Chains A and B, each alone.
Chain A
Amino acid sequence: MKIFEIKNCKKCFNGIKVLDDVSFSVEEGEVVAIIGSSGSGKTTLLRICTFLEYMDNGEMTYLSDKIVSSVNDKAVYIGQNTLSLDALNKNKELTRIKSYFGLVFQNFNLFPHWTVLKNVMDAAVSVQKRDKDEVKEKAMFYLKKMGLENKSASYPCELSGGQQQRVAIARALCLEPKIIFFDEPTSALDPELTSEILKVIKELAKEKRTMVIVTHEMNFARDVADRVVFVDNGVVVEEGDAYELITNPQKERTKRFLQKYNE
């Protein structure tokens, strides 16, 4: 079953093409890694998937919910057709659709004035209107899984970067999304903390969670992802089985990119 699909996504910033006809889809239980050099458009792609940016043209579907359709070469969002970030934020339909996915940021973006537990719980209670006791149990379950059950009363500033990122992952999990996007989840961390986070994501992959990970960790992408999408200059250059693509890339551009990691 397809959990997520984006088709022919186009995006310009001030007349400069950032994404040109990008398409990819994610099956249930699949882990897809998006790789590519800085400025290739992969973060923009992830931001479009999570409604932090709007696309100019293209289609996007979560499960069987078609959220963006292409009409007369323009993206039309469900519930309205105005194209602006402001309109996206006000879009009531999207509030419902946002429970399909979670996003883990490069810089964690925890809420500093809340305890770890409240960070993990609050959206489930005040956005999804779930029962507080049930959510608390779930939050503690995920914190335990992240090895942070004894940090539930701490504030984010009292935690290491790796711990903060694990809280952010627990926060995303607590909303029970169908798919989790990771935007370079280890780029703000040192190598030791990086391996700590990668281990956690590997665990989630073993549980067959559906995930899309933008990453610069090629070994990780090779070992954990099922499929890899290589993006360069706003287009998908190559896509395929993770191990195959990383160990034996077909396209010249992909070879050159991967070579830099082996030097």
Chain B
Amino acid sequence: MINLNSIIIQVLGGAGASLLIFFSTLVISLPLGLLMAFPRMSKIKPINYIFGFVISLLRGTPLMLQLIVWYYGPYYIFGATLGLSWRVPAIIIGFSINYAAYFAEIFRSGIQSIPVGQYEAASVLGYSRTQTFFKIVFPQMLKRVIPPVTNEIITLVKDTSLAFVITYSEMFTVAKQIAAAKTTIVPLFVAGSFYYIFNYLVAFVMEKVEKAFNYYK
């Protein structure tokens, strides 16, 4: 007989691995995305093109494939045998760089949506370019990018399941294993419920963040 409690406990056993991918990716990809947004907007054409191309490659190929490249690449390209200890770093690098590409485009659009009048006012008042960015552009950009960033974060929660491709036992992989062993789909639904609950929390928190920026229009 299937015991729901034991299924829940076993599926939750994989949740830690999923959360590790999630939080590591978030912490790395958000600042990395901001750093990538600048060369993407560079007036120096070659830099602009290179970053445009890198971002299009990262957004235009499956994350699953990118994870495979990060994990097996070092062996096939350099003959390096990194073994299993390379798996978690490869996953975090693969996820972070992939998500940074999306965040870079979101930040770029946010920065470019700031009216030119803001820059002109800053220029006339004598602010330096660095001051203009950090005091005037960046805070206004943050407010504008919250909704699309929330979207990406929610997608990230679900994408953590892609780590299965390099045989990493995150929550969904664990659920599939139980489902196969016990010949029941219940574990998959249990895992689905956890993704949903977690994303509900994400949306809740992000809504609070959005509200915190509501003091001005």
Interface on A for B, CB 8 Å cutoff? 50-52, 86, 89-90, 95, 98-99, 101-103, 105, 107, 109-113, 122-123, 126-128, 155-157, 171, 175
- Whether A126 contacts B136 by the Cβ 8 Å rule is no
Nearest-CB distance from B184 to chain A (Å)?
A: 53
What CA separation (Å) do A51 and B122 show in the bound complex?
A: 12
- Whether A112 contacts B216 by the Cβ 8 Å rule is yes
15 more A-B residue pairs beyond the given contacts A113-B143, A155-B217, with a C-beta to C-beta distance below 8 A: A50-B124, A52-B120, A95-B126, A98-B124, A103-B124, A109-B118, A111-B118, A112-B217, A113-B139, A122-B135, A123-B125, A127-B127, A155-B216, A175-B125, A175-B126
- Whether B120 contacts A105 by the Cβ 8 Å rule is yes
CB contacts between A and B, total, < 8 Å: 61
Give the nearest-CB partner of B217 in chain A: A157
What CA separation (Å) do A52 and B119 show in the bound complex?
A: 10
In the complex, chain A residues whose CB is within 8 Å of the CB of B123? 51-52, 89, 98
In the complex, chain B residues whose CB is within 8 Å of the CB of A52? 120, 123-124
| Chain B binding surface SS class | helix
In the complex, chain A residues whose CB is within 8 Å of the CB of B127? 123, 126-127
Interface on B for A, CB 8 Å cutoff? 43, 115, 117-118, 120-121, 123-129, 131, 135-136, 139-140, 143, 215-217
**Which residue of A86, A102, A126, A157 is within 8 Å of B124 (Cβ)?**
A102
- Whether B216 contacts A127 by the Cβ 8 Å rule is no
In the complex, chain B residues whose CB is within 8 Å of the CB of A123? 125-127
A–B complex contacts, Cβ < 8 Å, 22 sampled: A50-B124, A52-B124, A90-B129, A95-B128, A98-B123, A98-B124, A101-B124, A102-B124, A105-B117, A105-B121, A109-B117, A109-B121, A111-B118, A112-B140, A113-B216, A123-B126, A126-B127, A126-B135, A127-B125, A155-B217, A171-B125, A175-B125
Give the nearest-CB partner of B143 in chain A: A113
Nearest-CB distance from B150 to chain A (Å)?
A: 20
In the complex, chain A residues whose CB is within 8 Å of the CB of B121? 105, 109-111
What CA separation (Å) do A109 and B125 show in the bound complex?
A: 11
- Whether B117 contacts A155 by the Cβ 8 Å rule is no
